[in-house]
Amino acid sequence: MKHRRTPRFVEAFQALPAEVKAQARKAFLLFQEDMSHPGLSIERIEGYPGVWSGRISRKYRWTFHFEQDPETGERICVHRVISAHEDVYRKP
């Protein structure tokens, strides 16, 4: 599966503390290996059809959705935003 990051995600990731960035990188590797891993605590976001969130740490989460590449038909995971838990759910 391909992965793409929105400009909003990239900007938010760059603003994170170094420790959280390291935790996020570990979570993304785990996500690529096994999207259903219990440690990621993947869940749908109510009120936003097709948008999901995953756990980075107790305080941080990220959101994503899936698209299909119109040329190849391949599934693309679009990483939308990464932030503190309460902020992610305000504007996923």
Q: Which fold has domain 2-90?
A: YaeB-like fold (3.30.2310)
Q: What's the pLDDT score for residue 91? A: 85
pTM of the entire predicted model = 0.92
Q: What's the pLDDT score for residue 86? A: 87
Number of CB atoms found within 10 A of residue 33's CB: 8
Q: What CA–CA distance (Å, rounded) separates 8 from 55?
A: 18
Helices (H), 1-92: 7-14, 18-33, 85-90
- Mean pLDDT by runs of 10 across the 92 residues of the chain is 95 96 97 94 95 96 95 95 91 87
Q: What's the pLDDT score for residue 51? A: 97
